[in-house]
A and B are shown apart, each in its own frame.
Chain A
Amino acid sequence: MIFCNITICFEKEKGNFYHERRKGVSKRMKKLVNSASFVVILAMMAAGCGANSGSAGNGAESSNGGGSGEKQTTINFIHWRGEDVKIFDQLIEDFEKANPDIKVEMNVFPSEQYLANLQTKLMDGKYGDVFASYPGAQFETLSKAGLYEDLTGSEYIAAYSASLIEAGQKDGKQYALPYQLVYNQPVYNKGIFEKLGLTLPQDWDEFLALNEKLKQNGYIPIAFPGADIGPGQFINSMMMNNNTDEQIWAKVEKGEAKLTDEWFVKTLSQIKELADKGYFQKDSLGTNKDIAGSLFAQEKAAMLATGSYMMAGIKEQNPNISQGLLAPITVSRDKAVYEGIHTTTFMLGINAKSSKKEAAEKFIAFLSDKAVAERYANGTGQLVTIKDVQYSTPELQESAVWVDKKTRFQPRYLISDAKIEKAVTTSVQAVVSGMDPAKAAADAQKIVDQNVKKQ
């Protein structure tokens, strides 16, 4: 073979030379390598046999310690919010004090690989006794796989606002309880708006004028994280009034409505208009949410195209900032139906394959308690779905105002097929980068066609 020529010539020459030099070392090294590997092989075989018959002892704290005769259960709690870890640690400590026979072990996986990791862990039955999930496609996938324990009729459900827990229901049964309430609409800098005498826009022209004025005054009107969450967040408030049919995404997924229809193309062209007029920061498609967030926190940008969940973090970066939520109204005043977008997320569920369901239920009941939820909310800066919670920070109070407004459940989460969802967010990226809206819509529709549910 051709390959051998070079390698062998090279090796042979060097080989002889090195052999002489390394003769002494080689025997020792060889012995070391051999003994090390024998030990390793034995260990592997031993561990390999052990792994099949249950916990490998790695990670999960063993529940049979002590020898005091007390039976202790350890439950595993999985979610994606690294930001909440400190608060959860405190809450878990209190829970464990109140329930000495239960220990809670928490695992956090970043949101991108969350679903992938979650599925495997749940299937095993070893992990995820209590786990958090997203509504929409993720909920669909997991409930289809039968991974949610049916919670219908449990006492603690009464603590939740009835209208806010629908996202975790299927076929009339409650499978998961959304814990967080977020508003997926742009955050705006109240100080800048006041300074420039701006009022909240009531229709599209007013929104455009608002942006123009901001731009004229040297601000970035909208910080748009086009690299990650921007498209998926912004599309909601932009389309909510362009198409008010709650069933629209179900229809698109069945092929009964198309992305090339007027409402979607209009949405895309309105987003494109914002980009073309320079209302997004430069290179928005290369900007991620953290950088967009800093632009907003540094008061270089007047609006941030994400949602209420970022307000707490922004406040940390800039304690002097005063924030509020607004929504771009994409139609004329009289046609506007919705004022904003809400999502109920971070849905708590119990692994149907868990062997520790009782303990898991106790934990969920604990979290559902009003006082506990209040601590969580004020500690993490997130709104919760539990009734009658008192919010103490200005950001939370500001957001809580929206509970009484007419908001729509995040349309994007009504897309149950992940590929279609991605096609939609990609089309937003496409128009921001300059593609013609009709073409972007057609490209996305092509992907929809390829994935239409063959009922």
Chain B
Amino acid sequence: MKQSKTLYLFIIPGLFLYLLFFVYPTVNGLILSFTDWDGFSSKNWIGLENYKKMLVDDSIFMKALTNNLKFMLGVVIFQTLLSLGFSILLVKNSKSNIFFRALYFFPTILSSISVAFIWGFMYNPNVGVVNNVLGRIGLEALAQNWLGDPELALYSIVFVQVWAHTGQMLVIFVAGLQSIPEELYEAVYLDGATKWQAFKHVTWPMVTPAATIVVAYTTIQSFKAFDLIFALTGGGPVYSTEILSTYIYHTAFQSSEFGYAAAQSMGFMLIIAMITFGQFKLLKGNRAS
């Protein structure tokens, strides 16, 4: 059927809003990054100075970047492994499996604020549950200052992030696993393979597409963990939980350095693009073999 002109009308409302409130700001961000705008005065062109500062002269940016990478690695590794592991255990559609899957998925629908409050309470050193429970079972020595210890805080938050989103990735893996035809397994077991070999030669290759999605999704999600960290620790203590998104927010709204924050945002976007691209290549290469 020939395309009629009305099709062009179809795209107008959505495209208009999208261009105005999303694409234009992104481009504008690029322009802002070359100014010294402080949020309300004039915007003065300062060229590449913001970028220079970001790369050479800002120890907190580097710290935020390192934290973000640590966070991302921690979340991606644990979340992927956990969700994959559970998905293998829960792949059959039995009543109990469906129940477990539904339960594990549950935290995903809570807002990050709610999750932050729940775990903020759990981790609280004075009245919190974790230390309380450890004390009662005699493991008081293990009680830590979960969110107040600069060495530990980031990893405590990794735990929360994994807690909240494993169920979501689990669902994707289950979908992937369920699409693997039984015959492949039967064939391989007929040849006398062990469970581990079955996994290596049948499960893993077939689940790689799902794994790619999970890893990519988890990565982007972990970079976006703004809500959770903002509500739990605000980036502290001692910048130990400051990640790029919270640092950008602070630079803009606490230090009134909007131009610089825009430059940081560009850097941020570039980093995400590079990492996502890298992952793509890596896992795509895997699949080919």
Contacts and interface: CB of A to CB of B under 8 A. Distances in A.
Instruction: Tell whether any CB of A sits under 8 Å from a CB of B in the complex.
Output: yes
A250 interface: no
A335 interface: no
Contact of B253 (A115, A286, A433, A443): A115
Contacts of B72: none
B4 interface: no
B253 A450 contact: no
B253 A116 contact: yes
Interface string A389-428: 0000000000000000000000000000111001000100
B254 A418 contact: yes
B83 to A, nearest CB: 15
B238 to A, nearest CB: 5
B157 to A, nearest CB: 13
A429 B150 CA distance: 9
Contacts of B172: 6
Interface of B is mostly: loop
Given A227-B148, A285-B149, A291-B126, A6 B237 contact: no
A119 interface: yes
A285 B237 CA distance: 7
A276 to B, nearest CB: 15
A446 B63 CA distance: 13
A430 B236 CA distance: 10
Contacts of B176: 6
B253 A430 contact: no
A291 B147 CA distance: 15
Nearest to B146: A286
A282 interface: yes
A223 to B, nearest CB: 10
A365 interface: no
A283 B126 contact: yes
A117 to B, nearest CB: 9
B283 to A, nearest CB: 9
Contacts of A435: 238
Contacts of A433: 148-150, 237-238
A100 B18 CA distance: 47
Nearest to B287: A2
Contact of B39 (A112, A119, A284, A417): A119
B60 A429 contact: no
Interface of A is mostly: helix
Size range of the chain A interface in the assembly = 35 or more
Given A5-B209, A119-B40, A284 B253 contact: no
B210 interface: yes
A60 B255 CA distance: 29
A362 B176 CA distance: 70
A99 to B, nearest CB: 31
Contacts of B209: 2-3, 5-6
Contacts of A144: 41
Contacts of A17: none
B238 A429 contact: yes
B253 A10 contact: no
B57 interface: yes
Interface string B234-259: 10111100000000000001111000
A119 B253 CA distance: 10
Contact of B238 (A41, A281, A418, A430): A430
A286 B147 contact: yes
A119 B38 CA distance: 10
Given A119-B39, A283-B149, A286-B124, 7 more contacts: A2-B209, A2-B284, A6-B179, A116-B253, A282-B145, A286-B147, A446-B59
Interface of B: 13, 38-41, 53, 57-60, 123-127, 145-150, 172, 175-176, 179, 209-210, 212-213, 234, 236-239, 253-256, 284, 287
7 contacts: A2-B209, A5-B209, A6-B175, A291-B127, A418-B254, A429-B150, A429-B237
